[in-house]
Amino acid sequence: MKIETAEFRYGCSHFEDIPVASLPEFAFVGRSNVGKSSLINMLAGRKELAHTSRKPGKTQCINFFEINHAWHLVDLPGYGYAKVSKAKQLDFNQDVSSYLTQRSSLGQVFLLVDSQLKPLEQDLYFAQWLQQSQLSYSLILTKTDRISHSTAGSHEVLFEQTLKDWKLKPNEIFKCSAKTRKGRNDILQWIDGRLPRKSKKKQKTPTINLNWMK
């Protein structure tokens, strides 16, 4: 998939404020500071499409970006140690939960996990909830450029075993780096394969009137 246009459309603090869907949607979610904004910018090929920050919890709205006028990339608020009040975190959870379970235009959830860390219960519980909610989801291992090949290999083996232990079955597992752009084509091609195809109408062969020859 070639990204020709990527534009911010709207951000909503609450699920009830989200406009009626007009395009297929693919949502990205993960713990605070997992590198979600950087990954989104990498996928879209835009440096400042999603605002990045060293402070966790930068994304506090459900943000919609229109890609190629064909689909919406949805940036969901991060869960975890965002520096906001517990009441605000509860709002995040309720609105994100409502979006994920009630949005009929949602085609896939991409759950981002930091490849530098061993599997965290917080991520595993979220994946378990997605699966129990019968939501289609894939995993994205982020920041793969920040660890050695040996560490990456051991974490990968541990992660795969942990998924089996928790009986988690994501559609795909992508290994990505916002810095090196690793995994970009794999994710975009995967999304492209799930977009509705425009039907090509067959042109009718014109009927030739030969009366003029008589």
Q: Is the pLDDT of residue 27 over 70?
A: yes
Mean pLDDT within 144-161: 89
The CATH number linked to 116 is 3.40.50.300
Any domain includes 214: no
Q: Is the pLDDT of residue 131 over 60?
A: yes
Domain, as residue range, for 158 = 6-197
pLDDT of residue 29: 95
Q: What angle do CA 194, 113, 117 make, to 5 degrees?
A: 155
pLDDT of residue 74: 96
High-pLDDT (> 90) share of the chain, %: 64
Any domain includes 84: yes
pLDDT of residue 50: 80
Reference 12, options 79, 83, 67, 65; nearest CA is 65
Mean pLDDT within 57-64: 73
Sheet holding 62-67, edge to edge: 6-12, 62-67, 71-75, 25-30, 106-114, 137-142, 173-175
Ranked by mean pLDDT, which of 40-54, 91-105, 131-145, 200-214 comes out on top?
131-145
Any domain includes 211: no
Any domain includes 175: yes
Residue 98 exposure: Cα atoms within 13 Å on the Cβ side: 14
Number of domains in the chain: 1
| Ranges of H-type helices in the chain | 36-44, 86-102, 121-132, 149-165, 184-192
Any domain includes 203: no
